[in-house]
Structure 1
Amino acid sequence: MHTTTRFQVRKDQLATTRLQTVDDPPLADGQVRMRIDRFALTANNITYAAFGDAMHYWQFFPTGAEGWGHIPVWGFASVVQSLHPGVAVGERLYGYWPMASGAVLSPDRLSPARFTDAAPHRAELPAVYNQYFRCDTDPLYTADTEDLQSLLRPLFITSWLIDDFMADNDFFGARTLLLSSASSKTAYGTAFQLHQRQGIEVVGLTSAANVAFCESLGCYHRVVTYDALDAIAADTPCVYIDFAGNGGLRTAIHTRFTDLRYSSSIGGTHVAQLSAKGAGKDLPGPRVTLFFAPSQIQKRSAEWGADAFGRRMVAAWHDFLTTVADARQPWLRAEHHEGGEAVQAAYVQVLAGRGDPRTGHILSL
């Protein structure tokens, strides 16, 4: 009998967690059982939880228990049992998983590169989250960078799409872009891309403790602390890209900058500060607009073709990874946490926004 250990959180109180170990039901024909080997936990996953109801993230891996949710994570898993003729035991996959030791998938639309989970409850959810990539043929996969892939791959794809979206809209007529939470992985991935654009000034906003780290990355033209916004001229035509969801900071940005051209909300890691005012209601300046990566994927795939979209993304990823993994000054190092207690401790740290920005958490249950 197989068992699965699951890490669950209260949807209305993200600091309340529990571990459950349950017996697995038998597989149905066409299903495969996965052992989840490792997954990353980042501020991005806290965003999934913070927007779990609004953006349907809780629906991917339902717990069956009222009020409790599985936070989705990205990582690697191996097939340990298969009742599907097209998926072999031992195959390794990259994709979207619950915080658990295992999962069951219903593979459909198989190709040499990937397949889709056709579980009925996922049919109406964004397709980008339902795809599982077969490591043997995945152009983004290398065996020695699994940790960095788990930590950065989904975030960098979002970063790459934010940069593309901004360029696609001519940066809304601005040439200065303000990025909050500049030490976060999605922010500095975005800054890495934007820094390659001619005539664009990338300004990183961060806490005093993270100034040196952000400056060391070399992808921000300027790094400014949150309490020093007056170092930037108030009439600067600018775009605000908010990676934190800090309502107080968003209000300060909208109030100070009289020529704010666009305000983009990417994440919500400051859970306690996701208030109605912070959500963008009754603020001066442009309406706060939530960036939804799958929409830009759909647009560009239609315009460029799926193959061309994939080639561009793969090239950008390898360029980014080369910089991040540079042995002379790596941007990120992985820290492993194994077992329920270690996973809970890492979750508490990430939820609170504590820790060294150079450290990435890799978990297994």
Structure 2
Amino acid sequence: MSTTTQLLVRKDDLASSKVRTADDTPLADGQVRLRIDSFALTSNNITYAAFGESMSYWQFFPTGEEGWGAIPVWGFGSVVQSLHPGVAVGERLYGYVPMASSVVLSPERLSPARFTDGTPHRAPLPAVYNQYFRCASDPLYTAGTEDLQALLRPLFITSWLIDDFFDDNGFFGARPGVALLSSASSKTAYGTAFRMQRREGIEVVGLTSAGNRSFCESLGCYHRVLGYDELDQLAADTPCVYIDFAGNGKLRRAIHTRFSQLRHDCVIGGTHVEQLAPPGTAKELPGPRATFFFAPAQIKKRTEEWGPDVFGQRMVQAWQGFIEKVAQPGAPWLVAQHHDGAAAVQAAYAQVLGGHGDPRIGHILSLSRG
């Protein structure tokens, strides 16, 4: 009998993890088993865990163990068993998977390019996370860049939507003005900056730690890079918006306290888990209340306004321009590092959770190899 190996984490203590291997259950009619060949692990996945309860991320892949969760990740896999007439063994897929060696899916609403997982418990969850892309017909797929796709594709789509959201809302009255992006070395932040730097009247300012400053400056997508303690280099009455990729409560307080013309505070992620502000803290700050950005809502809005074909074409065009820049010969923004096997995966998880490492390195993990 085949088995599945999975990395589980404590929902109330993300630093506690364990590896579990269990026998696979037989497939039911209409199901397929996907061998997960590789998946990316980024600070975005730590955000999924940090907001696992409030944003329902723990519900995608229930573990059956009280208190233990499976963090969703984005990866590639091959169908190794199929009891579905529309999905063949050997087909390659990209999508939302657990940190595991395999997963069982129930394909529904099949098209040449994708299908939806119809597993009942996923029905009430955001549809964007339940789609699996069939690589043979996926316009965003290229065979030679799977690692970069796993690392950047979901993040860049979020970046593209963030930029579109702010432009759609006229930067909330802060144009001309400044867009402040925290955690500027993170992939979602520099993807946003890559798009936003083209917006007329907006100075894109990256906020980062001293250790990541030179990396952020080398990207060329920020008009200016400042340390977290250098907010005083911007005038206090500067019209600005804050795009928070870190969840750092101390930094949020400093920004709200300094900038009298702060027009919008947009929460994207929570990678600084130990510094996440307690619930209610942000309500006490001057200026606009922090508002969580939910990418599926902007996808829904633009799909309705533009139509799905135009939405898809614009996204593909934006992605191709970004990936060309990231993978540029001689000076790539990101290089993949592989971690195969349970011990390596567990160690890589601890490293990413701790926020350590070179921002030029992207972590690609596999529990089906090694």
TM-score where L is the length of structure 1: 0.99
Paired position in structure 1 for 2:135? 135
Runs of 4+ in 1 over 6 A off after TM superposition: none
Does the 8 Å CA contact 1:101/1:364 hold for their aligned counterparts?
A: yes
Paired position in structure 2 for 1:62? 62
Paired position in structure 2 for 1:116? 116
Instruction: Please report how far the alpha carbon of residue 279 of structure 1 lies from its aligned counterpart in structure 2 after TM superposition.
Output: 5.5
Distance 1:354 1:107, change over 3 A: same
Distance 1:220 1:278, change over 3 A: farther
SS at match of 2:206: strand
Distance 1:268 1:16, change over 3 A: same
Does the 8 Å CA contact 1:203/1:222 hold for their aligned counterparts?
A: yes
Separation (CA, whole Å) in 2 of partners of 1:114 and 1:242: 32
SS at match of 2:339: strand
Separation (CA, whole Å) in 2 of partners of 1:196 and 1:267: 23
5 Å-filtered alignment, 1:1-365, equals 1-174=1-174, 175-276=177-278, 280-365=282-367
Instruction: Please report how far the alpha carbon of residue 130 of structure 1 lies from its aligned counterpart in structure 2 after TM superposition.
Output: 0.1
Instruction: Please report how far the alpha carbon of residue 237 of structure 1 lies from its aligned counterpart in structure 2 after TM superposition.
Output: 0.4
Separation (CA, whole Å) in 2 of partners of 1:199 and 1:229: 20
Q: How many residues align?
A: 365
Instruction: Please report how far the alpha carbon of residue 199 of structure 1 lies from its aligned counterpart in structure 2 after TM superposition.
Output: 1.8
Distance 1:117 1:253, change over 3 A: same
Q: Which amino acid in 1 is paired with 2:81?
A: Q
Instruction: Please report how far the alpha carbon of residue 137 of structure 1 lies from its aligned counterpart in structure 2 after TM superposition.
Output: 0.3
Separation (CA, whole Å) in 2 of partners of 1:258 and 1:275: 21
Instruction: Please report how far the alpha carbon of residue 281 of structure 1 lies from its aligned counterpart in structure 2 after TM superposition.
Output: 2.3
Q: Which amino acid in 2 is paired with 1:4?
A: T
Instruction: Please report how far the alpha carbon of residue 328 of structure 1 lies from its aligned counterpart in structure 2 after TM superposition.
Output: 2.3
Does the 8 Å CA contact 1:38/1:364 hold for their aligned counterparts?
A: yes
Separation (CA, whole Å) in 1 of partners of 2:235 and 2:351: 36
SS at match of 1:295: helix
Q: Which amino acid in 1 is paired with 2:43?
A: A
Separation (CA, whole Å) in 1 of partners of 2:212 and 2:258: 23
SS at match of 1:227: coil
Q: Which amino acid in 2 is paired with 1:23?
A: D
Q: CA offsets per residue over residues 78-113 of structure 1, 9 Å max, x none? A: 000000000000000000000000000000000000
Does the 8 Å CA contact 1:279/1:288 hold for their aligned counterparts?
A: no
SS at match of 2:229: helix
Does the 8 Å CA contact 1:245/1:278 hold for their aligned counterparts?
A: no
Does the 8 Å CA contact 2:247/2:277 hold for their aligned counterparts?
A: no
Instruction: Please report how far the alpha carbon of residue 278 of structure 1 lies from its aligned counterpart in structure 2 after TM superposition.
Output: 7.9
Does the 8 Å CA contact 1:47/1:268 hold for their aligned counterparts?
A: yes
Separation (CA, whole Å) in 2 of partners of 1:18 and 1:106: 27
Separation (CA, whole Å) in 2 of partners of 1:233 and 1:348: 39
SS at match of 1:61: coil
Distance 1:101 1:279, change over 3 A: farther
Q: Which amino acid in 2 is paired with 1:127?
A: A
Does the 8 Å CA contact 2:72/2:99 hold for their aligned counterparts?
A: yes
SS at match of 1:281: helix
Q: Which amino acid in 2 is paired with 1:20?
A: R
Separation (CA, whole Å) in 2 of partners of 1:306 and 1:277: 37
Separation (CA, whole Å) in 1 of partners of 2:195 and 2:259: 24
Alignment gaps of 5+ in structure 1: none
Separation (CA, whole Å) in 2 of partners of 1:351 and 1:160: 25
